[in-house]
Every structure is written in structure tokens, then in C-alpha cells.
Structure 1
Amino acid sequence: MKMAPRHRQQLPPLPMVSAKLGDRLASEVFLEEGRELLPQLQEFRRDMHQNPEIGLHLPRTQKQVLKALEGLPLEIHRGHDLSSVVAVLRGGKRGERPVSVLLRADMDALPLREQTGSPFASTNNNMHACGHDLHTAGLIGAAKMLCRHREELMGDVTFMFQPGEEGPGGAQPMIEEGVLDAAGRRPIAAYGLHVGPQDRGTFHHIPGPMMASSSNLWITVYGKGGHGSRPHDAVDPVAALAEIQMALQVALTRRFDANEPIVITVTNLRAGDGAVNIIPDKAELGATVRVLRDEHIEAVRQMIIEVSSSVAASHRCTAKVDFEVLYSATKTSPREDQFAASLWSGMFGAENVVPMQTPMMASEDFGAVLAQVPGTFMWLGTANPETPEHMREWNHSPLARFDDSVLGDQAAALAAVAFERLAAEDAHPSPATKAMRAPVQGTGSDSQPPSSAAQ
């Protein structure tokens, strides 16, 4: 008997309330103010671009961010074990039991020597080749605009300035240090933007899995060395490793649905010390593994172990597999994705908010936040539309250039989505928000807010 397919219950779309500042749409105000801030944001971005820092410890970058936020009505928290900055804005119309949203930017660069020839090129051997300097400047702009309109804000906003996205990962340490609870309660939504080589001023989005998980793979095959003229007296790990490399690609197509993207890309092969007439006693393979659905990661790992062990054994060798999961997949909330896309379509034109046809197999540790808070993450194009796509340098290239004329719109988009989302939750509270705001039963009166919120 053919069973009817079962579908998960779909939640209704989030309402758009067209929040206003005075007699104008808030989104229009932010768009205008963002463009007024553009020269200021470009100056910040270009200074940051010239002085890139890598990893979890970015002392100069942190200092510059704090300087840019100085004088704003923000509660500032610095990271303990990393150079993060968390800033909380308390809205003037937040009420006794406020909700909050989170906006995030990463701040770290790559260990890459810049080759752009830009007048504000890096002055050291690192490079902002992934656009995190724009992300940081854009979030500073959003903070400035939201602070300007603090009295009309119907909740709180957490600004998350994160180091270490390029490695070893800064989102999870910030979560462990309390970024998701910085406003007092878990955010109802989280948003971020990532610049790339798409057409300048276009936003690109997809609901659900958007970017893949990332894992590092090392396979070491052990054999017995010998002379190249007498391979029968040796146990050749090179031949075994070569077969393992090809067998993994075949196994992927037989173990997993072809519609579920999984990538194993071998990027390192090492064996021997240079002598071409000596069979080494071990050979090593390094690879990156990308999986779009986290639930498949363990099955992929087990497959790699099985294939490596069995192929190695057929060559009388043994194999050791080291598999390290770096980042989980980045999954957007369909409702939050639709909400941001609808808002930004109204601000920038529907033709400039483009649904992605497929997810990307690159990885991004904002997924750690989106695993706990519903939200979305979109690409923002910075490339000249007249430049053919095949001639555009992608992120992580030493020739990558990002047109920072988008910064005003980038800041406006983030400010507007935070403002509108809080207004929507105030006008149409979710069941969770209603429950949180309900009077406590049995006390004879409403419960009092914490003393810190009442002060």
C-alpha cells in the first residue's frame, strides 16, 4: 500500500508591520542614514584592511571597534579568552520583559599576502581576503543608527563582534562566554551578512541548509619500506594510499544519495623524503570534507574508516584515520529568511534580493549561533556587474577586492531588520513571547523584573 507523504506543520510567515520612525518608514530612514554614514564606515574599513589580524586574538581590531562604539548608549563586554566585543542596546520601548535580536559580524583576516595593489592594501603578511573588514564596519554602522533611534526600539539588540571565524572558530567560544544571554534572554532571532563577488548591492539567500559543515581529514597508511627495484620485498603504502583516494570518491556515490551534497577533496599527499628509488614505510593524505546535513557527518566518517582500512589491508598495510569536525552546517530559518528577504526587497528592490538555487559547500561558524537561535545569513554582492563572473576573484584570493560603497546599505539592512523584527514581535508576539510576558500565577500580582532591568 502506498503511504501518503507526511509533512511537518508549517508555521505561518512572520508578519511585516512596516515600522515607522515619525511619519516615515523606519527602513527608509535607515537607508538614508546609512548612506550618510558611508564615508565614516569606509574610513574605518580601510584602516582595518591595512592592519589585518588573524585568529582569536585581535588586539588592535578590538581597540578600534571599542573606539568606534565609544559614547554610544551600549553595554560593552570584552571577551575573556578571545578578542571579542559584545555590545547590548536597551530599547526605549522594551517593556518589563523585553525580547532581543542579535546582529553578528566577524573581524579576523587570513594569513595571506595581499596582491591587489590597492592604495589601502595590507601592511603586513595577513589580508582581509574574506571581507570581514566590511562586516565589522557594517555592524558598527548599524549600531550607530539603532542607538540614534533607541527611544523607539521595542526591545534589545546584541551586537556580536567575533574573532576567529577563519579558524579555530570564535562563535562557539563566544557562546560559551555568554553572548546569547548578553541581553538577559536568548534572542528571538539572529542575522548576519557576508560579502562576496556577486553583483554589487544584491542579496543572495536560501532557506534551510545554506552552507556546509567542514571537517579536516588525515589518513596515514603504514607499510614496510624497501628498494624501488624490489617492490615485492616491501609493503607499499603509496599504492595503497592512491587506491584509497579513488575508492573514497566511488564509495560516496554508492553510500549516499546523489541529491545530498557531500564533498571529499584531497589537498595533500605526502610520502618519502625525495629519493625516487626508495619505497617509504608510510604515506599520508590530507583532505577537506564538506557535508550539507550534520546528521550525515558520522556516516561519512565511518565510511572513510571502512574504506581506508579495507583497501589498506588488501595491500598488506594498515591505515589510521584522523577526522576532526571544525564547523557544523549553517542552516537558516525559513521564516526568518523570508522575513529579511521581504524587508530588504522593499528597501532595495525585489530584483536585488535573489534566491540561491543551491547551497554553498563553503563553511561558516555563524552556524553555531543559528543552531540555537532562528535566523538567517545572506550574501551581499560587492562586484562590478559589468565584470564577467569568470573574471571576478572569489573570497580568499590574494587578489580579492570588495567594493566598500555597499557599506551604507549593508548597515541600513542590518539596522532595519533588527528594528522591524522587534516591532513585529511586539505587535504579533509568538506563543513563547506571550508565555514569557504572562503574569506569574499565584502571586497576586505580576512578577517583578530583575533589579538590573528595573534600574
Structure 2
Amino acid sequence: MNTAAALPPDTYGLVLRQLDAAVLRPLTVFAMDLHQNPEPSGEEVRTAARLADALAAQGYAVTRGVGGHGVVGVLTNGEGPRVYLRAELDALPVREQTGLPYAAQGPCMHACGHDLHTAALLGAATLLARTRPHWQGTVVAVGQPAEETLTGARAMLEDGLYARFGRPGAVLAQHSAPLLGGMVAHGYGQPLLAGSAELDVTLHGRGGHAGAPHLTVDPVLAAAAVVLRLQGIVSRESAPAEQTTVTVGRLQAGAHSGVVPDSASLGITVRALHPASVERLVAAVERVVRAESAASGCPRDAGITVVSRSPALLPDAEVTALAREAHRQVLGAERVVPWAPSMATEDFGLYGDAGREIHGCAGVRLGYWMVGTVGPRQWAATSGTSTAERLASLPPNHSPAFAPHLPLALPSATRALTTAALAVLHSDTWSMVS
């Protein structure tokens, strides 16, 4: 595969000079509008419409309603590689506490930067549409719904994404992270993000009066025992060097302090870097739940449902090399850093070989990197004596205080996605052509 250095001289500069005030100002307004009007997974009606209309205005052939509220925009510019650029549309059920003048006011917010990703996707699509003399091939812009529930990628693929819009040579995406704005981070030969499984659990008790607990079977007590016992799966059943997590993110039971409820429900997520580890964790959770249900004398077996899965994300080495070199040339080598494996998870891996049973395409290469979101004032106000301590004290993704610094993050995320796309489009590896 050609490296980014094989591009015609100053191709990046010729394209990125289009990111002037005439493009960046409306792009920033677009990002703030998405941030102020978040929509949760599966309800991205307005967000999808805004992206679809904006892509159509740039000359993309737009299809709406792919796999739910998914948006696909296609721009064909002669023969060459077919590169997909993907961003997520959905927000999280978190109430915003950023204090931004364009903060969301309802029960949801873009606490994971999906508004930034979507705006950067539109920015890259705009630059590529305006500079067609400098590349050949096909660009497919994908706005994916329901990433936070890990169901959107599968839904779009099952709706014939590749069959309808062409087999990709490469699929590119990026994700916001609490790094300094203007920086990007790439993985190095191991999973970038963990694989995961989410389970819904229901423990069945026998309700009654709080003053006569001996006549009841208390599912709250059983649920508490499950929560405590689950901690032993990581601390006593996983090797110290194995990266695994088991998290109870939801525990619901009852409506009145004087009533022992009939049931309690838990939402549990397990994560690991290897598929076998994820399966082992799922089996261990099921074993613990059933055992605690029996130990509590529950009158019915516990209900256990695996509601979603996502594979570990391992970007393709050659695509990573192309993107990393492009980012070094455009952003500067000092702003391109390595990224250690993270226990965060998402469904992007399904676009590659991990989703072959869904889309039927082998050898689809994935490119994925992290983009910094932290502004200078936030960094200056952060406590800590070392860089690591200061980074650890920043509001993380999914925090109600998470807020990308748009003046830095949006231009750099747009440049990162655009230049990575150009690097792939200029590759002469015809195995990457659909």
C-alpha cells in the first residue's frame, strides 16, 4: 500500500485550505445546534435530517432511513477506492452540567462527543466535495444511529449497507477523548477498544409488607448480593494481567420504602480485549446470578438476557499507518501520539471482519483513532502535578461535564478525517477498491 507521502505535492494543503471561515463558521453552528438538540439512541430523527440535508447540499446522493434513522451520502468521483466515513448520531440519557451557552436543557446530552463526530464528518464531506480534482474514487458518508446501545451498526449492515452502497475498501472513524485539542492518538498492534456484552437481569422475589419481611422473599437483598459477588469475577477469576471489567450500571426495584417489591432488575456490562474473555465473563455473570437467586430462595429462576454485543476493535495496520502519517504531516508529529488499549467499547468493529456474518464481505479494513477535545482554559484549570494526573482529573466521556472545545476540536477532527480519507483514496492497493 502506498503511504501518505506518495500523494501529489501539497494535496493536503490544497484541500485543507478550503476549511476557511466560509466553511468553518456554518460547520461550528451545525455542531452547536446538534449539541443543543440531542436525541437518544433510536430517536435521532432531527439529527439525521440535519445531516442528510447538509450532505445533499454538498452534492451527495443521500439515502435516509437506513437501519432505522441511519443516513448514507454517496459522492462518486471516477474510478478508485471506495472509502466510508462514519460518525454516530445519538446522545446519552445524561443531564448536561457544562454551563455552555448552547447546552442541552432536557434529560439527554452529547456526553460522548457524537455531535463533534457528526460535524467533522460533514466537514470532511464538504472539503472532499469541493476539491474533486485532487482525488478519485467514491466517498460514502455514514451517519449511524444507536451506537450507545451497540445496535446501530448491526442494523445498518443488516439493512444492506454494503450491498446497496458498495463494498468498502476501508471504513474510517474517529472518537473524541480527553486529550488536548489538536491532538490525535492511534493504537499500535493490539485492540484499541474492548469487546463487550450487555445483560438485562431480573430477580423474582415475593413481595409483602416491610414490617413482615419473614413472609417475603426480598429481591433487593438478592440483587445486592449479586452486585457484591460480581466483583469477585474480576478480582478472583481473571488473571491480574488480563484487562476485564464487570459493571452494574443499573439497579431498579420497588416504589415505596414500606413495601418489599416482587422483583429487582439489573443492567450489567462486561468488557474484555479478547472474545474468549468476554464469553467467560458472560458465563460467570450468569452463574453468579442463578446461584444468588437460589441462595435467596427466589420462587422463580432469574431472567437473564444478553441484549447487545460488540467485538473488540482492532484497526487495520496498513490503514493505521496511512492515517497516522497523514496526521503527522498535517497536524505535526508532536500532536500524534500512541493510544493504549481502552476498556471503552463501541460497535464500529462490525463494519470489518468481525461483522462478516452480517454483511458478507471479507477483508474490509478499518481505520480508527482518537481526537483531542480539551481547550487551553480547561487544561489550565485542571488540578494535578503531572500530565497523567491532570488528564485523569478532566471530565471523561459520559460525564455530565464533558464538552469538546469546538474552536480547537472541530477543525482538527475535520482535518484528521479528511486527510485520512485522502490517504486511502490515493492508495494504489486495488484490493481496497470495491
Superposition TM-score, scaled by structure 1 size: 0.79
Q: Deviations over 1:89-122 (max 9, x none)?
A: 1123x1xxx4311111112223333332322223
Q: Which residue of 2 aligns with 1:398?
A: 400
**1:78 aligned to 2:64?**
yes
Which of 158, 166, 180 is matched with 2:148 structurally?
166
Query: 1:80 and 1:239, CA in 2 relative to 1: closer, same or farther beyond 3 A?
Result: closer
Are 1:415 and 2:418 an aligned pair?
yes
Question: Residues 221-370 of structure 1: matches in 2 within 5 Å?
Answer: 221-222=203-204, 237-270=219-252, 274-275=256-257, 282-317=263-298, 319-329=301-311, 330-357=313-340, 359-370=341-352
Alpha carbons of 1:107 and 1:266: their partners in 2 closer, same or farther (altered >3 Å)?
Answer: closer
Aligned match of 2:192: 210
Do the aligned partners of 1:328 and 1:367 also contact (CA within 8 Å) in 2? Answer: yes
Which secondary structure does the structure 2 equivalent of 1:211 belong to? coil
Q: Which residue pairs with 1:153 in the alignment?
A: 135
Q: 1:444 maps to which residue?
A: none
Structure 1 equivalent of residue 24 of structure 2: 38
Tell whether the 8 Å contact from 1:41 to 1:137 is kept in structure 2 after alignment: yes
Query: Any conservation in 2 of the 1:107–1:164 contact (CA below 8 Å)?
Result: yes
**RMSD between aligned residues:** 3.0
Q: Give me the whole-angstrom Cα distance separating, in 2, the residues matched to 1:124 and 1:189.
A: 37
Offset, 1:346 = 1.9
> Given the superposition, is the C-alpha separation of residues 376 and 295 from structure 1 closer, same or farther in structure 2, using an over 3 Å criterion?
farther
Aligned to 1:175: 157
Please report how far the alpha carbon of residue 178 of structure 1 lies from its aligned counterpart in structure 2 after TM superposition: 2.7
Comparing 116-125 and 335-344, the one that deviates more: 116-125
Q: Percent identity?
A: 35
Residues 258 and 334 of structure 1: CA distance in aligned 2, closer, same or farther (over 3 Å): farther
Query: Any gaps of 5 or more consecutive residues in structure 1?
Result: 1-13, 437-455
Name the CA shift for 1:238/1:112 in 2 (closer, same or farther; >3 Å): closer
Q: Distance in 1 between matches of 2:233 and 2:47?
A: 45
Q: Is the 8 A contact 1:86 1:161 kept in 2?
A: yes
CA radius of gyration, larger in:
1
Could you tell me how far apart the structure 2 residues matched to 1:53 and 1:244 are?
33
The 3-state SS of whatever aligns with 2:302 is strand
Report the CA distance shift for 1:121/1:141 in structure 2 as closer, same or farther (over 3 A).
same
Residue by residue over 1:265-286, the C-alpha shift from the partner in whole angstroms, topping out at 9 and shown as x without a partner, is 223445566456x766655444
Structure 1 residue 16, shift from structure 2 partner: 0.6
**Pair 1:68–1:348, CA change in 2 (3 A):** same
Are 2:86 and 2:173, in contact at CA under 8 Å, matched by a contact in 1?
yes
CA contact (8 A) 1:195 1:381 kept: yes
CA contact (8 A) 1:55 1:108 kept: yes
Q: What residue identity is the alignment partner of 2:70?
A: S
Secondary structure at 2:31 match in 1: helix
Structure 1 residues 319, 361: closer, same or farther in 2, change over 3 A?
farther
Letter in 2 for 1:350: A
Corresponding residue number in structure 2 for 1:15? 2
Residue identity in the other structure for 1:244? V
Change (3 A) 1:339 1:258: farther
The answer on whether the counterparts of 1:78 and 1:84 sit within 8 Å (CA) in structure 2 is yes
Question: Could you list the per-position Cα deviations for residues 1-34 of structure 1 after superposition, in whole angstroms to 9, with x for gaps in the alignment?
Answer: xxxxxxxxxxxxx43153545xx32222333333
Equivalent residues of 1:225, 1:281 under 8 A apart: yes
Q: Distance in 1 between matches of 2:290 and 2:220?
A: 14
C-alpha displacement of 1:125: 4.2
Aligned counterparts of 2:302 and 2:265: Cα–Cα separation in 1: 10
SS of the aligned residue for 2:120 comes to helix
Q: Using the alignment, how far apart are the partners of 2:261 and 2:49 within structure 1? A: 51
1:453 maps to which residue?
none
Distance 2:204 2:46 in 1: 46
Instruction: Specify every segment of 5 or more residues in structure 2 that has no aligned partner in the other structure, as ranges.
Output: 356-363, 383-390
**How much does 1:362 deviate?**
2.1
Match of 2:387 in 1: none
Output the amino acid matched with 1:26: T
CA positional deviation for 1:253: 4.0
- Does residue 386 of the first structure (1) align with residue 377 of the second (2)? no
User: Residues 423, 265 of structure 1: CA spacing in aligned structure 2 closer, same or farther, 3 A cutoff?
Assistant: same
**Cross-structure match for 1:191:** 172
Distance 1:72 1:229 in 2: 68
Please point out which of 8, 33, 36 is paired with 1:47.
33
Letter paired with 2:3 = M
Secondary structure, counterpart of 2:5 in structure 1: coil
Partners of 1:125 and 1:170 in 2: CA distance:
21
Name the residue aligned to 1:140.
122
| Distance of 1:70 and 1:283 partners within structure 2 | 48
**In the TM superposition, what is the alpha-carbon distance from 1:381 to its structure 2 partner?**
0.7
Q: Count the aligned residue pairs.
A: 409
Deviates more, 1:376-385 or 1:45-54: 45-54
Task: Summarize the Cα distance change of 1:320–1:200 in structure 2 as closer, same or farther, 3 Å threshold.
Answer: same
Counterpart of 2:385 in structure 1 is none
SS of residue paired to 1:376: strand
1:362-418, CA deviations, whole angstroms, 9 ceiling, x for partnerless residues? 222222223343212211111024342354222222322211123223222212211
Task: For residue 33 of structure 1, give the secondary structure of its aligned residue in structure 2.
Answer: coil
C-alpha distance in 1 between matches for 2:134 and 2:56: 21
